Amino acid sequence: MFEIRRTLVGVVTASAGAGALDGLVVPGRAFGCRTADDELMLLSVPQVTDEVVREVSTRLATLDPDALVIDTTDGWATIMVAGGGARSSFGLLSRLELPDAGFTQGEVVHVPAKVIADDEQVLILAPSMWEAHLLDRVTKALGATGRLETREWRVPTP
């Protein structure tokens, strides 16, 4: 059995020269996903997003004075598929090959997405204009397996 969980994730986007991002030490409370040569996405719990912005801005300032570090949490809809069948069921959502543990990006339910996976859970982030689509398609596709544990949940208001 597995479950779909609405998860609030703080997202910070850092745009800077490739060299600067190569040299950046990611703050310990954030998980860094290199989305492009000149772009890094940092995920954290929402409560520390401001700190991540500050720390990354400070660290990058010396490496690339033009660097752009912005809290983009509002731009992302996030859901977590968790449980024993989470990884194997991901094939119903996307043709992406999941890493054993880590980050990949590409289409999930036909929209561009970022995906972070480990042994038992898959975190999916898609641009927030597709939030309803993401929730609907993921729920339907995984619900059809008969292995999805459904629970009442409410979208938390930040």
Partner 1 sequence: MADGLRFEGRRVTVEPGDTVASALYRADVRTFTRSLKYHRRRGLWCVTGDCPNCMVNVDGDPGVRACMTDARDGQVVVRESGWPSAERDLLHVTDRLHRFLPVGFYSKTFIRPRFVWGLAERAIRRATGVGHLPIGRPASARPARALHVDLLVVGGGVAGLAAAAEAAAAGSRVVLVEERRLGATAWDARVRERIQTLAAEARAAGAEILEHHTAVGLYEGPFVPVVGPAEVLHVEAGRVVAATGAVEAHAVFPGNDLPGVFLARGAALLSIRHGVAPGRRAVVVATTDEGRASAAALRSAGMEVLIHDGPVIAAEGNGRILAVTLGTPSGRERITCDTLVLSLGWAPRDALLRMGTDQEVAGAGDVAIPGCSLEEAEASGRRAANGHDEAPSDVPTVPVGDEGYVCLCEDVSLHDLQQAWDEGWRSSEILKRYTTATMGPCQGAVCGRLLAAFAGARADAVATAGARTTSRPPARPLVLEDLAAGVDEMIEQRTSLHDRHLGLGARMERSGSWSRPTTFDAIDEEIRAVRHRAGLMDVGTLGKFLVAGRDAAELLDRVFPIRVRDLEPGRSRYLVALDEAGYVIDDGLLAALDSGRFYLCTTSGRAPAMEAWLRDWIDRWRLHVHLLDQTAQLGAILVAGPKARAILGRLTGDDVSAEALPHMRHADITVADVPCRAVRVGFVGEVGYELHHDRSRGPALYDALLEAGQVEGAQPFGLGALDVLRLEKAHLYLGQDTLPDDHPAKLGLEWAVAMDKPDFVGKRALERMGALPLERTLVGLRIDGEPRRGVPLLVGGRVVGRVTSCARSEAARGTIALGWVRAVDGSFPTELIAGHAVATVVPTPFYDPEGARLRV
Binding site for partner 1 (CB under 8 A): 13, 15-17, 38, 65-68, 70, 72-76, 90-92, 94-97, 109-111, 127-133, 137, 141, 144, 157-158
Cα 14 from Cα 20, distance rounded (Å): 10
> With respect to partner 1, which residue has the nearer C-beta, 13 or 44?
13
Tokens, residue 29:
């409370």
Residue 121 vs 128, nearer CB to partner 1: 128
First CA to last CA across the chain, in angstroms?
A: 29
Alpha carbons 87 and 97: distance in angstroms, whole number: 10
Write down the least CB distance from residue 155 to partner 1, Å. 10
Sign of the alpha-carbon torsion through 137, 141, 146, 149:
negative
Q: Measured from the CB atom, is 101 or 157 closer to partner 1?
A: 157
In whole angstroms, what is the distance from residue 7 CA to residue 125 CA? 10
Residue pair 10/72 in contact (Cβ under 8 Å)? The answer is: no
To partner 1, the closest distance from the beta carbon of 133 in angstroms equals: 6
Task: Name the minimum Å distance from CB 51 to partner 1.
Answer: 18
Closest separation in Å from C-beta 149 to partner 1:
19
For partner 1, the closer of residues 54 and 140 by Cβ is 140
* Residues contacting 98, CB < 8 A, separation 6+: 87, 90, 104, 115, 117, 122
Q: Provide, rounded to whole angstroms, the least separation between the CB of residue 121 and partner 1.
A: 18
